Structure 1
């Protein structure tokens, strides 16, 4: 499931803006301002006053910052000009005007470079990187932050350098470059530990845990998140507790530890509601639903998923609406509600397609923005050149040529973008068709599997019932008849001929009772239920050996730990069917049976020296025995390999996942 990124330092570099600003009394500041002279101190007063209005009256804050800019320009006060840009961009970010904030930040970088102050240049570049992140222009954000790294390395500022690495960790994660994300996350965490920056350790650990999860390093991720929880409790950082609990839930799901995942999500849900964090609540409810339905608590799982969906719809969280539908589709499939599964899956796919289209549109807009930015820069350079040129005719000619080239370039780019958009839409459409076809095929396969399961389960139940009836009913009846005849033998005087007939009848009755017990045992061996698969197979092979049908060598390797009851029965039936084939059809004299367990799989090998058969030729005419074998192997999600040549015997090799 998709969780939220935590970015404690995404806008850290609005340092000049005043992470340390004092909320002074406005009236006092106005009185001081009225009595002040138009100098650098007055610029600082305008900035301080603007900061008091940022959150509740941003327009007033901007007017005060513009006053500071005018006075700074008049005084040629570079620090004041830079202060204007850093503070004004903070307000524009609050107002959601990210493009305006980016323009001002880029201007502040030019001024900071000219001013020659590396610390202020790094701060301004940090603001530019933050603007690019707000605009989801990730590649440009990376380029900007990488320019800051050598500055802070040279200054020896480990605190700010660690936050730069933290931001790079997050951006590379968004770009799906997980090794790079881990590299910078480790650097950020190491620096934060060196300077004992608790908040930095929390941020770096949370952000690093995400690419670790994605690359399968789940245990390391859990260790970091548990450390975050300890630190967050010490400093009472509620939001860090919330995010770490969410990420822990995600990590435990990857380990299929649904109990721990559920516990983490429950902690996160309480914190999300306490902090009124609706997005986190939507995500956590979805995670809880996943845990609950895997534990078979379908009604509660569906309730949580629907709560998540309602919150997402109410707040127009489009991507989370799609994720909620996906979870509901899984629950519907678990309930065997195939119609509901298809319905929810289609809704989820529709939203995913819509989001993909929005992403494509954003990418196109970013390309257009880059093009327009370059176009403006070229325009400025051209105008500067034109100013230097005195000949009006030459200037007009150059301008005409410039416009012609730009127009052709614009038309070419528009055509390429239109073609690219068409191709992407076509690919998305084809992909959706393939996904839907795959889903239908998957549902059909699952339906067939359920049908096979029902048939096999019915067969086993019928075998068990018949075995009990034969053993308890007919077996008991025959034993009673034998007992009566034995008593009668001692009480009745028979001549020699009748005595022989009577003895032969008793022998035949003994043979019938033995045969009945053998049949009942084969239908549902008591040894299998009591002592497990190896003992049951050994007993069955011993019976075959004693019957002198053929020599049989049984081997059990690593089968000390018992399997699930259903799995043991299915494997027993498979081996039983293979041995029956060897006895009835193959005319074998020697048979090898081997059952071995290696790590997470079980291998079954049955080889005979019988007549064999042409596997390819006979594949279309295989009887019910082979059909039952294949059905059981498919149900156990195993693989069946048959090697046989006419006159050279048969070798059957089966691999089944251990459960």
Structure 2
């Protein structure tokens, strides 16, 4: 009896869970995620929340999770977030694998690969390549699976993060062994074991050793296989995975059985059986019971042999393992024969023969169909060649008759070709002239646009300089003068005798001067806020919102993300003016009671969002009826080369989203 070692690898489904960073699954969506989704702005936070929800329900509601993934995908495209696009396409692909739609899964992973390369993120690309290998593993195409796993491994080796790479090496080892490429299997098994030792990954290290033993077995290096399995057992126990421990003892028992050393084989098979009982895996128990029966048969203990072979037969019938059942029938026949039970032995030999014939027919039916298809193809090819010979014969008989026709046709064709070439040349010149004219117009438009930008730049700088000058003059000049007048009048008050009626008038005059000074300071502050020049855009907008809130004209909420680093001074001023103008529009024209202002900076991208609950307006008329405020906002956005989006409808408020690439 020939005993081979078991291949041991992560199942395809487990690989997906390992490399996709999926969250723990539960049947219901947590309230925290639903609240986060309802309150999240229409940006990257919302897209990430949609992905989290999809991943939470994927195991139980796969179709619904796919809907969440596509919603996240659409939003990620809208906000042009490549990192979220990678996650979205990857999750879509994993979902399609679970729905057994492998071609759709491949399409999704190919899209994810595009964005990993745009992001120049080799680690994420390697993980997506693993998932593509998993697809081909599901499609029973080991060659393609190995190809994508190797691509992933080569990329992963360049990354600092080596987590899970050892597990990938172990699976590559298993697939190479199954393809009969034993030397390459040894190479990757050794890599996997060494890496697992460096990062302290006992689970992947055990996988690598079990598959490495297989590769040594394939190369007939039995001593190395034995040494490798001896290392695997303590490592598997240390890792605490019962299935790995059972497999290691099973493989070691197979090694001794191959050498006909039945007592150590029995010891190891018994250990494997003990761990398999803990797993309650009927397929494993069936295999190990069959091997224990073989050992007891060779040790001349027929009662124990019959006990275990009967158990193996029962388990094989329960799990539908027909190939195992064939081997079980043969072993049972040998045991019955040795015990002198010739009738039972004959029955089991007949069962084994019948089942072998059935398995042979099943395994050869595909080969017969393949040979038949090849025969039909060859037959069709022969018919095609025969028809081709007949056609050539007819062609040769007509060749002489048609020579003159060919000559005349050739002359006519030459004339037509010459005319066509002349026409094409003329048309090409006209087209080239037209293209040059259009290019010239584009250059003129570009120059005019540059001129307009220069003019706009000068105008904006002039406005801000004039605002700054006026603010300084008002604050330092007129403000100082009013303060002096107040001081003088206050001194006069103590040196003059005034009637009570006149004293009331005098006090009101002083109050009016105080009010004038406060109003003057407010106007000067609005023209050039001190907070903006000293502390930057974030603090200036925050103070502006607090000032508006203090008037109680409306409720103004402000939120900022990633605004720790200051922007260029002129850029901060322009964005501050945009926020001022939009808030002013919400107060004056929208009659809003609540306004929400948000600044979000992520890398070079800055988003400005101003949303109100006002009366809104018809966006279709926006191009014809733009007020001065909106025109000013648009000109400032154009100056910073930003993108302005306005979402509104009558009675539904207004949302303004502006995106800059700072």
TM-score by length of 1: 0.51
Work out whether 1:290 is the aligned partner of 2:262.
no
Aligned to 2:363: 356
Q: What SS class does the counterpart of residue 154 from structure 1 fall into? A: coil
Aligned to 1:28: 32
Kindly tell me: are residues 319 and 419 of structure 1, through their superposed partners in 2, closer, same or farther at Cα, counting changes over 3 Å?
farther
Work out whether 1:302 is the aligned partner of 2:290.
no
Structure 2 CA distance for aligned equivalents of residues 298 and 418 of structure 1: 54
Aligned to 1:416: 374
For 1:451-466, list aligned pairs within 5 A.
none
Please state how far the C-alpha of 1:75 moved relative to its aligned partner: 2.7
Kindly tell me: are residues 301 and 98 of structure 1, through their superposed partners in 2, closer, same or farther at Cα, counting changes over 3 Å?
farther
Aligned to 2:229: 225
Aligned to 1:598: none
2:20 to 17, 20, 37: 17
Please state how far the C-alpha of 1:359 moved relative to its aligned partner: 7.1
Kindly tell me: are residues 35 and 29 of structure 1, through their superposed partners in 2, closer, same or farther at Cα, counting changes over 3 Å?
same
Kindly tell me: are residues 289 and 188 of structure 1, through their superposed partners in 2, closer, same or farther at Cα, counting changes over 3 Å?
same
Kindly tell me: are residues 82 and 312 of structure 1, through their superposed partners in 2, closer, same or farther at Cα, counting changes over 3 Å?
farther
Aligned to 2:9: 7
Deviations 1:147-190 (A, max 9, x none): 22331232255444433322221001111222322222122212
Aligned to 1:448: none
Deviations 1:590-636 (A, max 9, x none): xxxxxxxxxxxxxxxxxxxxxxxxxxxxxxxxxxxxxxxxxxxxxxx
Structure 2 CA distance for aligned equivalents of residues 104 and 323 of structure 1: 44
Work out whether 1:90 is the aligned partner of 2:94.
yes
Aligned to 2:176: 172
Q: State whether residues 16 and 87 of structure 1, in contact with CA within 8 Å, keep that contact through their aligned partners in structure 2.
A: no
Structure 2 CA distance for aligned equivalents of residues 415 and 299 of structure 1: 52
Q: State whether residues 13 and 123 of structure 1, in contact with CA within 8 Å, keep that contact through their aligned partners in structure 2.
A: no
Q: State whether residues 186 and 208 of structure 1, in contact with CA within 8 Å, keep that contact through their aligned partners in structure 2.
A: yes
For 1:406-485, list aligned pairs within 5 A.
415-416=373-374
Kindly tell me: are residues 72 and 227 of structure 1, through their superposed partners in 2, closer, same or farther at Cα, counting changes over 3 Å?
same
Kindly tell me: are residues 206 and 104 of structure 1, through their superposed partners in 2, closer, same or farther at Cα, counting changes over 3 Å?
same
1:55 to 56, 59, 75: 59
Deviations 1:24-54 (A, max 9, x none): 9711111111111221111111111122212
Q: State whether residues 126 and 145 of structure 1, in contact with CA within 8 Å, keep that contact through their aligned partners in structure 2.
A: yes
Deviations 1:392-437 (A, max 9, x none): xxxxxxxxxxxxxxxxxxxxx99438679xxxxxxxxxxxxxxxxx
Aligned to 1:125: 129
Work out whether 1:183 is the aligned partner of 2:183.
no
Kindly tell me: are residues 359 and 267 of structure 1, through their superposed partners in 2, closer, same or farther at Cα, counting changes over 3 Å?
farther
Kindly tell me: are residues 332 and 347 of structure 1, through their superposed partners in 2, closer, same or farther at Cα, counting changes over 3 Å?
farther
Aligned to 2:105: 101
Aligned to 2:259: 255
Work out whether 1:271 is the aligned partner of 2:275.
yes
Structure 2 CA distance for aligned equivalents of residues 340 and 419 of structure 1: 44
Q: State whether residues 298 and 331 of structure 1, in contact with CA within 8 Å, keep that contact through their aligned partners in structure 2.
A: yes
Q: State whether residues 25 and 57 of structure 2, in contact with CA within 8 Å, keep that contact through their aligned partners in structure 1.
A: no
Q: What SS class does the counterpart of residue 18 from structure 1 fall into? A: coil
Q: State whether residues 329 and 343 of structure 1, in contact with CA within 8 Å, keep that contact through their aligned partners in structure 2.
A: no
2:353 to 346, 350, 353: 346
Aligned to 1:509: none
Please state how far the C-alpha of 1:257 moved relative to its aligned partner: 1.9
Work out whether 1:68 is the aligned partner of 2:72.
yes
Structure 1 CA distance for aligned equivalents of residues 17 and 118 of structure 2: 19
Q: State whether residues 218 and 254 of structure 1, in contact with CA within 8 Å, keep that contact through their aligned partners in structure 2.
A: no
Work out whether 1:241 is the aligned partner of 2:245.
yes
Q: State whether residues 23 and 56 of structure 2, in contact with CA within 8 Å, keep that contact through their aligned partners in structure 1.
A: no
Q: State whether residues 22 and 55 of structure 2, in contact with CA within 8 Å, keep that contact through their aligned partners in structure 1.
A: no
Please state how far the C-alpha of 1:315 moved relative to its aligned partner: 2.0
Q: State whether residues 182 and 219 of structure 2, in contact with CA within 8 Å, keep that contact through their aligned partners in structure 1.
A: yes
2:196 to 187, 192, 196: 192
Deviations 1:209-249 (A, max 9, x none): 22223333333323333332212322322221122122122
Structure 1 CA distance for aligned equivalents of residues 372 and 285 of structure 2: 42
Report the number of matched residues: 371
Q: State whether residues 51 and 69 of structure 2, in contact with CA within 8 Å, keep that contact through their aligned partners in structure 1.
A: yes
Q: State whether residues 326 and 348 of structure 1, in contact with CA within 8 Å, keep that contact through their aligned partners in structure 2.
A: no
2:145 to 120, 124, 141: 141
Q: State whether residues 189 and 204 of structure 1, in contact with CA within 8 Å, keep that contact through their aligned partners in structure 2.
A: yes
Structure 2: gaps (5+ residues) = 379-662
Q: State whether residues 328 and 344 of structure 1, in contact with CA within 8 Å, keep that contact through their aligned partners in structure 2.
A: no
Structure 2 CA distance for aligned equivalents of residues 311 and 116 of structure 1: 52
Structure 2 CA distance for aligned equivalents of residues 358 and 107 of structure 1: 39
Please state how far the C-alpha of 1:138 moved relative to its aligned partner: 0.7
Aligned to 2:480: none
Q: Could you say which structure has the larger radius of gyration?
A: 2
Kindly tell me: are residues 124 and 312 of structure 1, through their superposed partners in 2, closer, same or farther at Cα, counting changes over 3 Å?
same
Work out whether 1:42 is the aligned partner of 2:46.
yes
Aligned to 1:540: none
Aligned to 1:521: none
2:208 to 194, 204, 208: 204
Kindly tell me: are residues 348 and 73 of structure 1, through their superposed partners in 2, closer, same or farther at Cα, counting changes over 3 Å?
same
Structure 2 CA distance for aligned equivalents of residues 358 and 111 of structure 1: 45
Structure 2 CA distance for aligned equivalents of residues 205 and 29 of structure 1: 42
Q: State whether residues 159 and 191 of structure 1, in contact with CA within 8 Å, keep that contact through their aligned partners in structure 2.
A: no
Structure 1: gaps (5+ residues) = 365-412, 421-659
Aligned to 1:163: 167
Kindly tell me: are residues 183 and 73 of structure 1, through their superposed partners in 2, closer, same or farther at Cα, counting changes over 3 Å?
same
Pick which of 248-257 and 224-233 moved more.
224-233
Structure 2 CA distance for aligned equivalents of residues 79 and 324 of structure 1: 54
Work out whether 1:324 is the aligned partner of 2:324.
no
Deviations 1:102-154 (A, max 9, x none): 44334433443455422221111111112212222111112212222331232
Structure 2 CA distance for aligned equivalents of residues 6 and 198 of structure 1: 14
Q: State whether residues 137 and 145 of structure 2, in contact with CA within 8 Å, keep that contact through their aligned partners in structure 1.
A: yes
Q: State whether residues 256 and 262 of structure 2, in contact with CA within 8 Å, keep that contact through their aligned partners in structure 1.
A: yes
2:284 to 265, 274, 280: 280
Q: State whether residues 16 and 94 of structure 2, in contact with CA within 8 Å, keep that contact through their aligned partners in structure 1.
A: no
Pick which of 295-304 and 96-105 moved more.
96-105
Structure 2 CA distance for aligned equivalents of residues 77 and 176 of structure 1: 44
Deviations 1:498-522 (A, max 9, x none): xxxxxxxxxxxxxxxxxxxxxxxxx
Structure 2 CA distance for aligned equivalents of residues 57 and 266 of structure 1: 42
